[in-house]
Every structure is written in C-alpha cells, then in structure tokens.
Structure 1
Amino acid sequence: MRLQKNNLKSMNKLRKAGALLAIFCVGQLTIAQTDSLNVIERTGKDSIPKNPNFKKIKIDGVASVVGDYVILNSDIDKTFIDLQSQGQDIKNITRCQLLGKLMEDKLYAHHAVQDSILVSDGEVYGNVDRQIDYFLEQLGGDMNKLLRFYNKTDEESFRQELFQINKVNLLSKRMQDKIVEEVEITPEEVRQFFNNIPKDELPVFGTELEIGQIVVQPKIPETEKKKAIERLKQIKAEVEDQGTSFATKAILYSHDRATGGKTLSLNRKSAFVKEFKDVAFTLEEGEISEPFETEFGWHIVQLDRKRGQEIDVRHILLIPEVPAEALREAREKMETIRKRIVDGEISFEDAALEFSDEKETKFNKGQLINPSTLDTRFELTRMDPSLYSQIVNLADGELSQPLLDEDRTGTKKYKILRITNRHDEHVADYSRDYTKIQELALQEKRMKAVQKWMEEKIRDTYVSLNAESKDCNFVNNWLKK
C-alpha cells in the first residue's frame, strides 16, 4: 500500500505540473512555426560567410517526435522560462522531466485527432483571449512589453502561436477525459482502498466550514429597466442597420467586463443560466436576439456559429442603475431580517426560504455550495479569498453584519453570513470522510487507467528521440525497451 500512497502523491504532482504547463507553456511549437527562431540552415562549406566576425549559432534541433507532433529543444527552453517567469521553483525540474511531460501532451493530442475528438476554434480563441488578458494584467496592460518578453514582433503572430499551444492542450485534456469517462468505483473498492492504507500514512484533512447566507437584492425601478432595454435595442439596430461590429459594441458597452466582445462556446449542459441558453439556442447564425432578462441583468445575444450541439455566441449585458434609495432600503430590510433571527423570532433556515433573493441557496436552507467539490464544505486553506475575508472573524453560529457585495458585473446586493458547521482538521475516518476517500480511490483508479492507455499507445505510436534525449530516465517507456 506504500506504493499506492506514493502513486497518489505522484499523481497530484503530475496534475499540478500539468496545470502549470497548460497555463504557462507558450513555447510548444510545431515544426511549421520555427520562423521566429534564430536558426542557420545547414549548408556546404563554400557557402559559409567569410566574415571574420561571423559566429556559428547552434541549430534549434528536434528533441522528439510523437506521432504527428514535433518537440524542439527550444520548446523545452521556453517552458523553463515560462515557469520561472511565473515564480515557479525550477531547481528540481530537469529537461528530461519537461520533455516527458511535453511528449505526454503530444501523445494525447495525436490520438485525440485519430479518434476524431473535436475542439472548436471559438473555444481555443476564447482561451487565448483569457491567457493574454492574464499576461497583460501581470505586465500592467502593456502589450509591447508582453511581445518583447516573448520575443514576438506583433500581436497576431503571438496569438497564432498561443492558438496552436492551446489547441494541443485542449485536445490533450479531451483525450484524457475520454480515457477515464467510464471509470467508476464501487463501495467495495473504496473500502479495500482505505483498509490498505497503513495507519501511519492515513491522509489528514484540513479544517472545513459549512456556510449559509441570506441575500437581499435592491429593487430596481421600472424606469431604469426600460432605459437598459431601449439602449440594447438601439445597439441591436446599429449593428443590423449600419453594419457596426457587435464585438466592438460589446467591448465598449457590456457591463460583463470578463467576456465583453469575446466568443462564448456553450451547449445545453453548459453552466449558463437557463434563460440565456433558451434564447441563444433559438437564434440563427448572425442573428441578434431581442433584449431579455436574467438574474444578472438585461442581455442581447448574437449567434456567431453553430457546430452540431455546440454554439459560439457573443453577448452584451446592461445592468440597470441602482439608485441610492434602493440600496438603503435593501440594507434596512437586511438589518430587520438579521434582528429577527438574533431575537429568535425566526430561524436562519426559515428566513433564507422566506426572504432570500438568491435562488441557488434559499431552497437549501441558505447553504452555500462549494463550486469545486459540489458539496457544502469549504476547506479553509482553499477558500476564495473574498469569502474567507467575510467569515474569518465569525464564531460558529454567529451572524455577520449586513455586507454590501458586488460581483464581477457590478451587481450589488446585501447579504448576511453564518458558519453553520465546522469540521476540524483530523486524520481520515472511513465513515466521516467517505466522500473524500471515495474521490481518492477513484483518482487512483483513473490514474491506473491512464497509465495503461499510455503504455499501449506508446507501443503503437511513432516515437523518435534525439541522441541526447535517449539518455533520459523517463517515467514512461518512450525508448520502447
């Protein structure tokens, strides 16, 4: 079982490394993208310049070929630079380890294509946009500085390189998802997994909290709603009648700054509110919807492209202005609700059901759901910083004062929070922590399925390594010994 435990640790390290590489590796180029490299072609002796100041430059050689993909030595170098630029400790990371990870990604991507797994250009470009936004945020919004950092002459070439990298990453992820999609774990397997862990190696689970909240949203006057609707109708008319760009209008006017102007890819199961999906899936390509309302505000949506069960859309969100008087009334209502709970007139759970304006929690006794685990527990060390700051000084069962909360779209609301339950740090217990133990057992079983797939596909896939790379002690059998 010690090996089993080590496998779990190794798996977590690989998952962490894989996430870092997926975010930061902007050096993974295909062989068709070597125009930006300082390479001198191999030529005969007679063609070498006679300039005495001429210096030979090392050719950017091929480190490995996996299926249809080529990994260059410069890809490994740039991956090191990218990881270091993000503050990662690279002292214990070797070239062989990075090459092995890049080869794994290429193997997944190669067989994703072979298995006809599709990745839409809209989804890839959406990832590129978010990646560049992140980079610019780190560099104070200076695109020229970003291009100089990555030695790119223009934004378009940089975006195209990122497009290729993100496409490989998405193909790789889709292939991994397909490998494990049918892997399930039985209660008996969970029991055996737990019983095989030595007592002195049982995992320790950190302190977790269960948190409830009641939300009061300020009432928006009908006059403000009408202003938003009329403005959206005007924007729609300008795009349809004058040929202006919907994307440009979204960048200029949408209150959803995170997605303004960007393409959103979705299907019927995507995590968008029902009203948004209902409208989006009724449109034809190029069509713009009439204004419609969701819990976030008022929208218009343009359908960019249909791809089977998936669509690419852009949207503009306008949030009607909330007058100061409406905010004051919302706070007073929140204070009254809080006083009634403190005075024992009504329970927190009943108050959530009767008064809360948040659909997701009011029918669940006000309990927040952890978006990462989909249960009600929040581990302190992994909690969202904004939520942590709101509950850190609360005692168990204590009600917070009314808090003015504002989301990324600028929507304002008042809420009160309460820690409804606390689970202190403890050594894993089978009955108490069954769900977590089940997840660990499932992870190990999935890891074994991926490893089995990897071993089979390496044998069946063309793999070539240069002489230097053949000296690596790879985790996987890339040398096919």
Structure 2
Amino acid sequence: MLFKKRKMKLINNKIALIFGLTICAYGSVNAQTSHKKKIDGVVAVVGDYVVLDSDIDKTFIELQARGVETKDIPRCEMLGKLLEDKLYAHQAVQDSIVVSDGEVNEFMNSQLDQMVEQVGSIEKVIQLYNKKNLEDFKTTFFDVVKMNKLTEQMQRKILEDVEITPEEVRIFFNKIPKEELPVFGAEMEVAQIVVKPVVSQAQKQKAIDKLKEIKKEVQEGASFFSRAVIYTDDKASIPNGGYYKLTKKTQFVKEFKDVAFSLQEGEISEPFETEFGYHIIYLEKIRGQELDVRHILITPKVTDEALKDAKTKIENIRKRIVDGQITFAEAAKAYSDEKETRNSGGVLVNPRTLETRFELTKMDPSLYSEVADLKDNAVSLPLMDQEQNGNKKYKLITVTHRYEEHTADFATDYLKIKDLALKEKQIKAVAKWSEEKIKETYIKINGEYRDCKFTNNWLKK
C-alpha cells in the first residue's frame, strides 16, 4: 500500500503547507524571550524580506504551542517553509495586493479578544507576552500579521483559477495502481429531528423588561461594564464587561450589527431579539469603520412545563416513526425545529468536509456516543441537548447509511477522489509558480544553511 501510505500523505502534507502553516504570532507566550542568549543573524533574504536564525526557533516554538510534533522536522525544512512565506509576501507586494492597516488591526483585535477570553484580561495577555503595554504588543506583531495576510492573499490568487474537470479526476484515479488505491475508513450518514421547548411570551417580556431596567440604571449613572458582568448571558464577554470591537465584516448575526451601526456614539439601544435571546447595545466609541460596543444578552428562560411539553411532542413523533406511520425524513421536514437540516430530512452535514458522511475515527465524540450503538434506521430515544444560548432541547437520531472501510471506488467515493485530484493539481500549480518566481527574485542563503537540500531551488544551482 505504498501509494496510500506515502503518496496520499505527501499530497495532504503539501497542501497543509500551502494553506495552513503560516506563522501564528499568537501561539506561544514565550516566543519573544526564549533565545535571549543566542547570537541572532540573517540566514536568508527573499526580495525585501529577511529571515533571522531566531525566526526558525520561534516557528518551532509556535508549532509546539499548537500541539504539533516537531522533533522530526529538520531546521532546513523549517527554513524552506519560511522562505516560501517570504516569497509569497514579496510577490504579493509586487502584484499590488494591498492589506490595509485596518484589516491587520481588525485581525489582531479579534485574536486579542480570543486570548482575553482564555486568560481573563488584556493585562494578563500583555504580561504573558512580556510587553510594556497594549501599544507595545500591537507594534511588535503588526508586521508579522501583515506579512501573513499578504501570504494568504497571494496563495489564494495562485489557486483561485485552479479547477478540476471530471475527466481529470478520472485520469487521476486511473493512474493509481490497483494495489495502491487509498483505503477510506468506515463512515456513516446521520439524521436528526430537533424539538425545542416553546419560550412563553411572559418569559420573553421578562427579559425585555429587565434590559429596559438596566438601560435606565446606566442612563442614571450606573456602570454598563458592571451591569454586563452581573447580568449578561454571553459568557464569553463577561470578563470584558460585554465589550466587542465590531466592523461590518465581523462574523456577528445580522440583527446585532444592524442595531450597532444604527446607534450614535454614547447611545444605548432598545432591547432587540436575535437567535440567542434579547440584547441591548451601548455604542462606546466610533473609530472610522470600527465600533467599540458593549452589550448585555438575556436569554429568556425555558420553563419546566415547556421542557416537558417538548419531550412529550418528540416522544409522539418517535412513536409515529417506529409504528411506520411516517418516515424519519418526512417527520424531520414536518416537525423538526432545526431549520438547517429539516429540508434535507434531518441529514447532518459534516462541518469538516461539508459532506453528509462522517468518518467514525474523526467523528465528534459526543455525536459518536449517540450513534455508536444504533442499528441502521433505528431511532434513538429522545436525547436532551443544549444550544449555544444555554436553552435545552430534545432530539432524535438515526443512522441513514453506513459505509464499511473499503478500497476507493470511483463512483462511490467520487467527491473524495475529486478532492485528492484537485489538491495534486494545486500542488503542481504552486510548484510551477514558485519555480518561476524564485528565478526572478533576489534570494540569498547564508552560512551553514547553504548546505541544506531544499525542495525548491532556493540556492539557484
């Protein structure tokens, strides 16, 4: 199985390098201070960019912080990756690809928000990175983030026109020796029906009234920060007093952004509804196209009676399916409260592959535990689940199809084979681009690294 173990691994590893292995400026809290005693120097130059010896060390630390095993990665290979990143960034500038300061700052602020959520405060983040203050932190990482953004955009530009035809997929598959065809693991397709308890109008009004009361207190001098810490159901924003930086590109629900961008600086909105519950927003500061906002979320509570009614409803649905009065797919379309799946008969989409199949060895553990003992077309007993907003719901699960481990078949596994064929074509496109750009770009490798055996012709021999 040489092809399965080596060639497929090579394709996937190379494409991971193309897309995923950009240097993350936020992976390791000690990346800036771990090698103080080491004499640093320029080991390579690519166009307008330099690579320092310490950059290689930092990259190893970053990968280790992200859980990547690095003991078998030679320094020459790591330098090769850094040279690729510099070449992408250099060529992006030559091709007039623009990354605005605002885009860089937006990304940095998003990363900061995530780190604050993890460690508790922005002061702790600054302390962990051994910086004097927030300005020092941002100054340190601004150029790194900008280069990574240029790299990403250049990569996308190279690959945006790379497409694969059915005939190319067929040729790719037919070139694989029969004894070296990849083996795909056991998979299954899963469907579900969701019944959510009905939130009473009284509970909704209770949330609205509480938000109006908080708004009045703030207008009379109370701290919005402290009220958010005490009352918000948005746990992620509690440490920051409900604070978020917001642009029109920020991945928030439309209703939230619409209200935020309708406010004047210093204004507090009326209570409004999203899928998460009811909110008020305080617009703290307008910075061009960026807003500093604070919000408070109150999720209407589901009563025990409503939860009981939901369980009764889903038990009746299950009985009708088991008795043969209605199929699972028909019941999903008629009764499921999950709009994302009901029109497909409840069939779930694998978020990792965007296909309907779930490979058992890579399935989310919570989902696997729910379906592991189910026979084909059997319907689970009602299972209690919890939504992002904390409200409980009931669901039924069934396994609609099961695929045992098998050698790749062109018809059955066409989408997987197409993906492998496309990745191989992308690798060739990147290799061709790199070969051409290396020839026309100023590149210099210094010292012991001139003895490296690079995949690309960085030494221009």
TM bucket, shorter chain: 0.7 to 0.9
Is 2:109 aligned against 1:125?
A: yes
Cα deviation, residue 214, structure 1:
0.7
Cα deviation, residue 334, structure 1:
1.6
Task: Give, in whole Å, the separation in 2 of the partners of 1:451 and 1:286.
Answer: 53
Task: Give, in whole Å, the separation in 2 of the partners of 1:185 and 1:301.
Answer: 47
Task: Find the residue that maps to 1:93 and give its secondary structure.
Answer: coil
Report matched runs for 1:29-40 at 5 Å: none
Task: Find the residue that maps to 2:352 and give its secondary structure.
Answer: coil
Equivalent residue, structure 1, for 2:206: 227
* Match of residue 340, structure 1, among 320, 324, 349: 320
Structure 1 residues 439 and 458, CA, compared in 2 at 3 Å: closer, same or farther?
same
Task: Give, in whole Å, the separation in 1 of the partners of 2:233 and 2:91.
Answer: 41
Cα deviation, residue 420, structure 1:
0.9
Does the 8 A contact of 2:131 with 2:137 survive in 1? yes
Does the 8 A contact of 1:76 with 1:99 survive in 2? yes
Equivalent residue, structure 2, for 1:444: 424
Structure 1 residues 332 and 38, CA, compared in 2 at 3 Å: closer, same or farther?
closer
Does the 8 A contact of 1:288 with 1:300 survive in 2? yes
Cα deviation, residue 15, structure 1:
4.2
Does the 8 A contact of 1:397 with 1:418 survive in 2? yes
After superposing the two structures, state which structure 1 stretch, 292-301 or 159-168, moved more: 159-168
Equivalent residue, structure 2, for 1:255: 233
Task: Give, in whole Å, the separation in 1 of the partners of 2:406 and 2:312.
Answer: 41
Cα deviation, residue 317, structure 1:
3.4
Equivalent residue, structure 2, for 1:432: 412
Task: Give, in whole Å, the separation in 2 of the partners of 1:411 and 1:163.
Answer: 40
Cα deviation, residue 126, structure 1:
0.7
Which structure 2 residue ranges, 5 or more long, are not aligned? none
Task: Give, in whole Å, the separation in 2 of the partners of 1:341 and 1:271.
Answer: 38
Equivalent residue, structure 2, for 1:410: 390
Does the 8 A contact of 2:4 with 2:182 survive in 1? no
Does the 8 A contact of 2:197 with 2:302 survive in 1? yes
Equivalent residue, structure 2, for 1:216: 195
Once the two structures are superposed, residues 344-374 of structure 1 have per-residue CA deviations (whole angstroms, 9 ceiling, x without a partner) of: 2222112112211111111111111222222
Cα deviation, residue 405, structure 1:
0.9
Cα deviation, residue 464, structure 1:
3.0
Is 2:458 aligned against 1:478?
A: yes
TM-score (norm 2): 0.82
Cα deviation, residue 288, structure 1:
6.0
Task: Find the residue that maps to 2:351 and give its secondary structure.
Answer: coil
Task: Find the residue that maps to 1:478 and give its secondary structure.
Answer: coil
Cα deviation, residue 455, structure 1:
2.2
Does the 8 A contact of 2:382 with 2:396 survive in 1? yes
After superposing the two structures, state which structure 1 stretch, 10-19 or 316-325, moved more: 10-19
Equivalent residue, structure 2, for 1:19: 20
* Match of residue 94, structure 1, among 69, 74, 77: 74
Task: Give, in whole Å, the separation in 2 of the partners of 1:3 and 1:452.
Answer: 23
The residue type paired with residue 49 of structure 2 is: Y
Task: Give, in whole Å, the separation in 2 of the partners of 1:105 and 1:464.
Answer: 15
Is 2:86 aligned against 1:106?
A: yes
Task: Give, in whole Å, the separation in 2 of the partners of 1:406 and 1:116.
Answer: 44
Equivalent residue, structure 2, for 1:196: 175
Cα deviation, residue 429, structure 1:
0.8
Task: Give, in whole Å, the separation in 1 of the partners of 2:379 and 2:25.
Answer: 42
The residue type paired with residue 255 of structure 1 is: D
Q: State percent identity of aligned pairs.
A: 52
Task: Give, in whole Å, the separation in 1 of the partners of 2:267 and 2:435.
Answer: 48
Query: For the aligned residues, what is the CA RMSD?
Result: 3.8
Task: Give, in whole Å, the separation in 1 of the partners of 2:319 and 2:344.
Answer: 21
Task: Give, in whole Å, the separation in 1 of the partners of 2:298 and 2:27.
Answer: 35
Task: Find the residue that maps to 2:243 and give its secondary structure.
Answer: coil
Equivalent residue, structure 2, for 1:116: 97
The residue type paired with residue 364 of structure 2 is: D
* Match of residue 52, structure 2, among 58, 68, 72: 72
Cα deviation, residue 314, structure 1:
6.8
Does the 8 A contact of 2:3 with 2:180 survive in 1? no
Task: Give, in whole Å, the separation in 2 of the partners of 1:202 and 1:335.
Answer: 46
TM-score (norm 1): 0.79
Report matched runs for 1:249-328 at 5 Å: 253-258=231-236, 261-263=243-245, 267=249, 273=253, 275-276=255-256, 290-300=270-280, 316-328=296-308
Equivalent residue, structure 2, for 1:420: 400
The residue type paired with residue 411 of structure 2 is: S
After superposing the two structures, state which structure 1 stretch, 277-286 or 312-321, moved more: 277-286
Equivalent residue, structure 1, for 2:447: 467
Cα deviation, residue 272, structure 1:
5.7
Equivalent residue, structure 2, for 1:52: none
